[in-house]
């Protein structure tokens, strides 16, 4: 039985997550991501600066975050939304069990969904932690399944040396093809490496590594 645990970020987690957002701000800008950060003038000023880093004022920012920002955060609506979508996530993940058997999809026994008001729509770590932004406009199940599929495919991303746009397109195509009955609002945006569209479909779900080999072979011509 797959277990999904849901909780808010702790104050320490939220601050460290914010620090990581600041470290990756150039990546977000270059790839067109809209990013939420703490709505405080000191945080906003550093994020928008071309030269300042969060580490330079870390003690000051930590105190502001712990004393002024985090105590005002309200996770109640996000927790309710997440709990309502949890069973749908589990139902979708049951479909991936055959992938684990057929080609090694990395399906974990437990995932921890951590709610945050910051960052982009969602993110993941290979340990099984998924971060969900509480005001994300996309359905909770769509975002969580997307991030969990990322975790399951990470070994293939590394094996085939896929770049960011290829990785995102791969996950979107797989989710749109595999979960169209359970997540009808999930669709693959026309972003990322569109050449993958010719290689990833319902049939290729039976053997994604083989489909990626064909893609890499085509790409190298």
pLDDT tens per residue, range 100-155 = 999 999 999 999 999 999 998 889 999 999 999 999 889 999 999 999 999 999 99
The model's pLDDT over 159-170, given as tens digits with 9 standing for 90+, comes to: 999 999 999 999
Q: pLDDT above 90 covers what percent of the chain?
A: 82
The model's pLDDT over 180-221, given as tens digits with 9 standing for 90+, comes to: 999 998 987 776 678 999 999 999 999 999 999 999 999 987
Say if residue 91's pLDDT is above 90.
Answer: yes
- Please give the backbone phi and psi of residue 201, each rounded to the nearest 5 degrees, phi first: -155, -170
Indicate the domain borders of the chain.
Answer: 10-72
Residues 6+ apart with CB under 8 A from 29: none
CA 25 to CA 33: how far, in whole Å?
9
Say if residue 174's pLDDT is above 80.
Answer: yes
Say if residue 7's pLDDT is above 90.
Answer: yes
- Element holding 118 (H helix, E strand): none
Token reading at 184: 């009808």
Please answer whether residues 133 and 117 qualify as being in contact, where contact means their C-beta atoms are separated by less than 8 angstroms. Answer: yes
What does the pLDDT read at residue 176?
95
What does the pLDDT read at residue 122?
87
Its pTM stands at 0.90
């Amino acid at each position: 039985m797959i277990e999904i645990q849901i909780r808010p970020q702790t104050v320490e987690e939220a601050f460290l997550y914010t620090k990581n957002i600041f470290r990756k701000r150039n990546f977000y800008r270059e790839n067109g991501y809209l990013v939420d950060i703490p709505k405080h003038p000191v945080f906003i000023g550093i994020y928008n600066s071309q030269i300042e880093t969060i580490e330079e004022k870390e003690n000051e920012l930590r105190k502001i975050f712990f004393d002024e920002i985090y105590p005002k955060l309200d996770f109640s609506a996000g927790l309710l939304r997440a709990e309502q979508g949890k069973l749908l996530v589990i139902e979708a993940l049951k479909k991936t069990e055959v992938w684990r058997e057929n080609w090694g999809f990395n399906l974990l026994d437990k995932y921890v969904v951590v709610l945050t008001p910051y960052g982009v729509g969602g993110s993941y770590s290979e340990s099984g932690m998924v971060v969900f932004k509480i005001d994300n406009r996309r359905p909770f199940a769509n975002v969580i399944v997307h991030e969990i599929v990322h975790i399951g495919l990470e070994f293939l991303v590394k094996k085939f040396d896929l770049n960011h746009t290829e990785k995102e397109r791969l996950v979107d195509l797989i989710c749109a093809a595999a979960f169209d009955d359970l997540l009808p609002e999930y669709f693959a945006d026309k972003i990322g490496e569109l050449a993958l569209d010719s290689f990833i479909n319902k049939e290729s779900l039976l053997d994604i590594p083989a489909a990626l080999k064909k893609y890499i072979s085509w790409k190298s011509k």
